[in-house]
Structure 1
Amino acid sequence: MNLIKYKLTTVLALLLGLFATVVTAQTKPNIVLIVSDDAGYSDFGFQGSKIMKTPYLDELAKQGVKFEQAYVTAAVCGPSRAGLLTGKYQERFGFEENNVPGYMVKSCLSDDDMGLPLDQKTMGNYMKELGYKTAVFGKWHMGSKDEFHPMNRGFDTFVGFRGGARSYYKYDPDDSEVKTENRLERGLGNFKESDEYMTDVLADASIDFIKENKNNPFFVYLAFNAVHAPLQSDKKDLVNFPNLTGKRKELAAMTLSLDRACGRVFETLKKLGLDKNTIVIFTNDNGGPTDSTTADNLPLSGMKATLLEGGIRVPFIMRWPGVLPANTVYKKPICTFDLLPTFYKMGGGNVAALKDIDGVDLLPHVLGKNTNLPHQELYWKGEVGSAMRDGNWKLLRFPDRPAELFDVDKDAGELNNLADQNPERVKAMYKKIFAWEQTLERPLWMLRRKYEGDAIKRMDVYWNRK
């Protein structure tokens, strides 16, 4: 009799444990982080565009919170993604001075040895620790060598390419001129090109992963290469923009494809009954490159690769039904490195245990439980110069002219230099930038000087002063 009781007790304990595991898996929110590439700040309907057609993303903004002052950690793709994935200033581990590889001085590391340092944990690592299935779809740009590969950096699944840009159409498998890092890869070293338009390929892969893991908590990092150059649209979308020509028409068609791909992901979540327990974030990796793709960053000045607002301020939406208020705007400055601790907390982790990050959990701020600024100070190092935001004030430090000071709450276009009227503030902020720089590692690689000159010219041309 005692034996029967023991067996019944054991079975009951196992069933209760299994039930607890299932309940935990079901209650953990899924997370889908969508990052577009090189999009203009104003090139979305929810950002005020009357040209671009983005109905699905516009609806997402109505269903969630739009962040008015969202920043990235760098004005170009690679460093920005490094900060996003690690939750900290990428300069703290030497990842600065533009993208890798191909832009660096000869005395630096070889191209193969440039990448996200192996001692840095990624979002994938953190979310796996919390029991999530993790995936990257699209652009990686964190190093081409196998040791830097997403599946060796905390992600279970990868469909995309290791480099920074590629064609939106299938490569010829016999074309030896195509770099291996830019070929479509499924898994680790399994290259398989697709006949589909690349934006659709990445959406399809994401949808398949979501369906396969509908009973598990999952974290998806959907890193579209759209709308990065080359400007190659899905030709069926061009007819929607009869009044546009040239590059602007191609960009508009590519943006429409991007929006439709996002919409297919949203619709999949809804059909599977996952939408109410899935956090969806949409943002962009840096400002749009107006000079090469016609991206529109107005009313902000500047563009990609500048530390003006148009280079580092990005569109940003977060939706979590039943938790975050719908159709609202959060106006205080945040940064994409805040996403890692925010996700970690959402997934059941203890943010206090994250000792080596610069981001903060955004939920208390968005929900009004913490009315302070998420960050009193934010810092940037660019191809040339540095920048700092201290409350409403932003200081720009240049290599070829005196520093300039702006109240970016009142002057987002950075048109009214207030440095001469506030010499003590300039001095104090200059010292803060220098003190911050003392905490950073030396760069693991250095940019060729020619690119620094190009950055200064680009800034002057696209600084929208009258």
Structure 2
Amino acid sequence: MKNIIILIFALVTISSCAQKKPNIVFLFADDAGYADFGFHGSKVMITPNLDKLAKQGVRFEQAYVSDPTCGPSRAGIITGKYQQRFGFEENNVPGYMSAVSAQDGIDMGVPVEEVTMADYLKKEGYATAFYGKWHLGGADKFHPTKRGFDEFYGFRGGARSYYPYKNPPKEILNKLEEGFGNFKEHEGYLTDVLAEKSIDFIERNKEKPFFAFLSFNAVHTPMNATPEDMAKFPNLTGKRREVAAMTLALDRACGKVLDKLKELGLEENTIVIFSNDNGGPSDKNASDNYPLSGSKSNHLEGGVRVPFLMKWPGKVKANTTFKNPISTLDLLPTFYAAAGGDVSSVKDLDGVDLLPYINGKINKRPHETLFWKKDARATIRKGDWKLIRFPDRPAKLFYIPGDIKELKDLASLEPDRLKEMYKELYEWELTLERPRWMLKKSFEKVDIDRMDKYWEIDKKKEFNVNQKIKN
């Protein structure tokens, strides 16, 4: 009897320890504007749930993605390292690409040799699930359930209707899929459906640690908003009204998940992250990246700096800000360390565990240097200085703290710094793999033109503001 009691006590202790591992919920938006949230000062958007999350945790002032477009940004997040290191340099939307290797169409994806954040968390005993937009390869070998996720509900491609298709597309990329190969259109509005599916997963796994990656396609095109949500913005018109309504739905869906965690008593033992995959494409969905210049697809701050919130009760102080640059590459090591994994044993990551930096145990920047690259375009941020290399003009140099809009090119005033940073950028490029596919040059021109358009708009705005001040 004594031995039985000891055994029961041991099992209870093991179970208790296992439950000390925090649950992880990653709320991930798509193509949202930097300024389109109440916690970033928007007076137009209605985002009460995310605003509340910001007050309950840490808001990161300088959070960066590893690429200003959807697919590569996700590839960096899922692996915790620069996606260019395994050849995922360009977007993976068939039709936009020119293959330069054996990979083409749906065979473009994160190589199966790469270890994902779900792989790492499964090793630590987590139930794992992915909901929404995948965009990391359409072929079966890249399927989420073959990349560490126990469950999947969503679509493999980059964009689809928020409403069910009456005649689903023949290609598998943007069909709704549950599990592996079970294609069936949803009922209702997709943003709400994804939240409901995530909640179901949380309820079924509340007794053990879980990882839910909720990858919304909101607010990516097509511009599909419900009439009910549109009615909340009578003073807006056109795409701006639609993106406001779609953002409201995004916030509502996030709120449902957060409310469920609280209802189930899981809130205190759950890490919640909210972020976005790249800057908003203002010309496509009327998103607003103010006060940042640029947009999706370019290396200006408006293309690569994103909203980022983190809540972890008892671990990070509520209603605080973290001012130093971080990267979404940091998500994988942060999650893995929180799950009890030994990050120091993983030698092939570019991200870091953020917690020691947030709590002041490490009193320096998580990253002294950050890189971006797409074909001939490339960028390096070193400390507070940022160099952008272009294919059609001389490189520019900016001092970010004093010029967040990147309107004051200091290249001619800092020739030695320019040369040093240019060399470091080039040396980093020498460590990368050859791209597995390339963006068609016609689309590369679109990206450059988009950058110039919004850069010029910001220059004019700044000039007008300065003139008013003088007058």
Does TM, scored on the shorter chain, surpass 0.5? Answer: yes
Quote the offset at 1:419 in angstroms. Answer: 0.6
Quote the offset at 1:100 in angstroms. Answer: 3.4
Please give the alpha-carbon distance, in whole angstroms, between the structure 2 residues aligned to 1:112 and 1:267: 37
Contact 2:63/2:306 (CA < 8 Å) preserved in 1? Answer: yes
Equivalent in 50, 69, 77 of residue 76 of structure 1: 69
Identity of aligned residues (%): 58
Matched, 1:276 2:274: no
User: Aligned runs of 1:113-132 on 2, under 5 Å?
Assistant: 113-132=107-126
Contact 2:24/2:270 (CA < 8 Å) preserved in 1? Answer: yes
User: Aligned runs of 1:32-181 on 2, under 5 Å?
Assistant: 32-108=25-101, 109-172=103-166, 175=167, 177-181=169-173
Secondary structure (helix, strand or coil) at the match of 2:90 reads coil
Please give the alpha-carbon distance, in whole angstroms, between the structure 2 residues aligned to 1:260 and 1:105: 39
Secondary structure (helix, strand or coil) at the match of 1:181 reads coil
Deviation string 1:242-287 (CA, Å, 9 cap, x unpaired) is 1001100010000000000000000000000000100100000000
Match of 1:310 in 2: 302
Contact 2:100/2:436 (CA < 8 Å) preserved in 1? Answer: no
Match of 2:13 in 1: 20
Quote the offset at 1:107 in angstroms. Answer: 4.7
Contact 1:305/1:382 (CA < 8 Å) preserved in 2? Answer: no
Given residue 111 of structure 1, which amino acid in structure 2 is its aligned partner?
G
Match of 2:247 in 1: 255
Show structure 2 runs of 5+ residues with no match: 461-471
Please give the alpha-carbon distance, in whole angstroms, between the structure 1 residues aligned to 2:26 and 2:322: 18
Match of 2:463 in 1: none
Given residue 306 of structure 1, which amino acid in structure 2 is its aligned partner?
N
Given residue 272 of structure 1, which amino acid in structure 2 is its aligned partner?
L
Secondary structure (helix, strand or coil) at the match of 1:317 reads strand
Quote the offset at 1:101 in angstroms. Answer: 2.6
Given residue 62 of structure 1, which amino acid in structure 2 is its aligned partner?
K
Runs of 4+ residues deviating >6 angstroms? none
Given residue 278 of structure 1, which amino acid in structure 2 is its aligned partner?
T
After superposing the two structures, state which structure 1 stretch, 120-129 or 445-454, moved more. Answer: 445-454
TM-score (norm 1): 0.96
Please give the alpha-carbon distance, in whole angstroms, between the structure 1 residues aligned to 2:375 and 2:301: 15
Secondary structure (helix, strand or coil) at the match of 1:31 reads strand
Given residue 427 of structure 1, which amino acid in structure 2 is its aligned partner?
K
Matched, 1:225 2:217: yes
Please give the alpha-carbon distance, in whole angstroms, between the structure 2 residues aligned to 1:282 and 1:176: 31
Contact 2:92/2:108 (CA < 8 Å) preserved in 1? Answer: no
Judged with a 3 Å threshold, the aligned counterparts in structure 2 of structure 1 residues 206 and 286 are, in CA distance, closer, same or farther, namely same
Equivalent in 152, 155, 176 of residue 184 of structure 1: 176
Quote the offset at 1:110 in angstroms. Answer: 2.5
Match of 1:359 in 2: 351
Please give the alpha-carbon distance, in whole angstroms, between the structure 1 residues aligned to 2:393 and 2:110: 33
Please give the alpha-carbon distance, in whole angstroms, between the structure 1 residues aligned to 2:268 and 2:375: 42
Contact 2:168/2:175 (CA < 8 Å) preserved in 1? Answer: no
Given residue 286 of structure 2, which amino acid in structure 1 is its aligned partner?
T
Please give the alpha-carbon distance, in whole angstroms, between the structure 1 residues aligned to 2:218 and 2:125: 30
Given residue 442 of structure 2, which amino acid in structure 1 is its aligned partner?
K
Deviation string 1:33-67 (CA, Å, 9 cap, x unpaired) is 11100000000000111100000000000000000
Please give the alpha-carbon distance, in whole angstroms, between the structure 1 residues aligned to 2:318 and 2:83: 32
Secondary structure (helix, strand or coil) at the match of 2:401 reads coil
Quote the offset at 1:112 in angstroms. Answer: 2.6
Contact 2:104/2:437 (CA < 8 Å) preserved in 1? Answer: no
Contact 1:305/1:383 (CA < 8 Å) preserved in 2? Answer: no
Secondary structure (helix, strand or coil) at the match of 2:182 reads coil
Equivalent in 213, 216, 220 of residue 208 of structure 2: 216
Quote the offset at 1:348 in angstroms. Answer: 0.7
Matched, 1:437 2:429: yes
Please give the alpha-carbon distance, in whole angstroms, between the structure 2 residues aligned to 1:33 and 1:393: 30
Please give the alpha-carbon distance, in whole angstroms, between the structure 1 residues aligned to 2:438 and 2:256: 41
Given residue 125 of structure 1, which amino acid in structure 2 is its aligned partner?
D
Secondary structure (helix, strand or coil) at the match of 1:396 reads strand
Please give the alpha-carbon distance, in whole angstroms, between the structure 1 residues aligned to 2:99 and 2:444: 16
Matched, 1:333 2:325: yes
Given residue 382 of structure 2, which amino acid in structure 1 is its aligned partner?
D
Deviation string 1:184-206 (CA, Å, 9 cap, x unpaired) is 11100111212210001100000
Match of 2:411 in 1: 419
Equivalent in 365, 384, 388 of residue 392 of structure 1: 384
Please give the alpha-carbon distance, in whole angstroms, between the structure 1 residues aligned to 2:224 and 2:435: 34
Equivalent in 299, 316, 319 of residue 291 of structure 2: 299
Matched, 1:368 2:360: yes
Please give the alpha-carbon distance, in whole angstroms, between the structure 1 residues aligned to 2:426 and 2:375: 17
Matched, 1:465 2:459: yes
Match of 2:464 in 1: none
TM-score (norm 2): 0.95
Q: How many residues align?
A: 457
Show structure 1 runs of 5+ residues with no match: none
Please give the alpha-carbon distance, in whole angstroms, between the structure 2 residues aligned to 1:192 and 1:320: 36
Contact 2:99/2:437 (CA < 8 Å) preserved in 1? Answer: no
Please give the alpha-carbon distance, in whole angstroms, between the structure 2 residues aligned to 1:169 and 1:371: 48
After superposing the two structures, state which structure 1 stretch, 21-30 or 101-110, moved more. Answer: 101-110
Equivalent in 393, 397, 400 of residue 401 of structure 1: 393
Please give the alpha-carbon distance, in whole angstroms, between the structure 1 residues aligned to 2:333 and 2:251: 27
Match of 2:466 in 1: none
Quote the offset at 1:383 in angstroms. Answer: 5.2
Given residue 65 of structure 1, which amino acid in structure 2 is its aligned partner?
V
Deviation string 1:292-336 (CA, Å, 9 cap, x unpaired) is 111100110000000000000000000011211111110000000
